[in-house]
Amino acid sequence: MASAPDFSQGLKLNQMTGSKAETTENLLKDIGNLRGKVILITGGASGLGKAFCLEAGKHGAKLVIGDLNEEGARSVADQIKKEGGEAVSGRCDVTDFKSQVQLFNLARKTYKHIDVCIPCAGLGEVDQLENELKKGADGEYEEPRMLQLKVNLIGVMYSVQLGLSHLKQNPSKDKAIVLIASIAGYMGLPMGSIYCAAKHGVMGLFKSLPPQAAVENIRVSVIAPFFVDTPILTYATKILLKDLPLAKIEDVVSSLLCTASSPSAAGRSYIIDPSGVYSSPWNATVEETNNVYHAIALRAEAILGVMGTFRSLDRALSPIGGIKAGLVAAIAIPAVMYFR
Ligand SMILES: NC(=O)c1ccc[n+]([C@@H]2O[C@H](COP(=O)([O-])OP(=O)(O)OC[C@H]3O[C@@H](n4cnc5c(N)ncnc54)[C@H](O)[C@@H]3O)[C@@H](O)[C@H]2O)c1
């Protein structure tokens, strides 16, 4: 039987091989490099992307903001301009390659070149992989939608391919691709299999790309935040995280500003947890510790255990109509959280 998680010791990410704690001052030491830099970012209408755009705009960067939420992206661009900065925005669906081509074209048409590419658009939703497949009218299983994989991995790969092609045409020696993984790129996330698979894919990109991109004077970095309070967190995730400390949005923004501005960020991963920011080399691994990640895994296992019991009951009761899956989740999740 596993012992209770010890939160007093923080998340212990500083136990990652070769990692070092980063101060805000150190993260922002090259912030002056941002002046005049053209930064293309997807998912800039909300959360982490929005917070970064507003801050980068204040430091003189020129932002090109693409998002499915066209109105939200325009409002961020308007706010940057109101504060004296430069920005343009456009509707972009990252899962549609042509839509991304148009966003990159908008950047080139407006600012001639691109210096930094940040594929930040992301999607979190209740994991379809946990549910039984639906059957169509023909009685066969329907194709699962896998939208999280398309947004969080395929969309990122489209941005990286376009980013490499456009950045290569810029003769500057100070160019960057900044990937957004997650702590789910380093470890498993029960009940979040598709999101986790996508973020592991992003980490695979990060571990492979730096030498190849360096040939074109493009540095590649990744940021990997623990949970941050933004609209991406589903109701179920918020329940799962009850009473656990979250990472701070200002630490994520400082890490993004660092990766966009500093040559020292080349080939490094910036892990943001509630106790601060730790940067690590590409091959760092998380040591198994009895910490908050362990707590989340235990909670998820308990919820899945209760849901499994209800599912067996549902099958047994199916001759008389069974019980609704939604009702099961509505009872099981709060019940487990209350007793843990
Ligand atoms: N908030 C967290 O806890 C957390 C932790 C680790 C990593 N991340 C990652 O950070 C990134 C930003 O997340 P956030 O927390 O700011 O979430 P958010 O929901 O606030 O913002 C995500 C943005 O992506 C946009 N988007 C979604 N699908 C899109 C599509 N198909 N095309 C274009 N835009 C699309 C949304 O409209 C939204 O503006 C994501 O990649 C996410 O996986 C977030």
User: 111, 158, 186, 195: which one is catalytic?
Assistant: 195
Number of neighbours of residue 7 by Cβ within 10 angstroms: 15
pTM over 0.95: no
Residue 42 CB–ligand 1 contact under 6 Å: yes
Distance CA 252, CA 88 (A): 23
| Burial class of 257 by CB neighbour count within 10 A (0 to 12, 13 to 18, 19+) | buried
Q: What is the pLDDT of residue 309?
A: 77
Sequence-ordered strand ranges (E) for the chain:
20-22, 38-42, 62-67, 86-91, 116-119, 175-180, 218-225, 268-273, 276-281
Q: In angstroms, how far is CA 139 from the centroid of its own chain?
A: 37
What are phi and psi for residue 273, nearest 5 degrees?
-125, 175
**pLDDT at 2 (0 to 100):** 44
pLDDT class for 332, splitting at 50, 70, 90?
low
338 labelled catalytic: no
Give the mean pLDDT of the chain. Answer: 87
Question: What pLDDT score does 284 carry?
Answer: 72
52: Cα separation from own chain's centroid:
13
Question: Tokens at residue 262, please?
Answer: 């500093």
Q: Which of 40, 41, 42, 46 to mutate to test the pocket of ligand 1 (most atoms within 8 A of CB)?
A: 46
Report the chain's C-alpha Rg in angstroms. 21
**What CATH topology corresponds to 9-288?**
Rossmann fold (3.40.50)
> From the CA of 156, how far away is ligand 1's center (Å)?
12
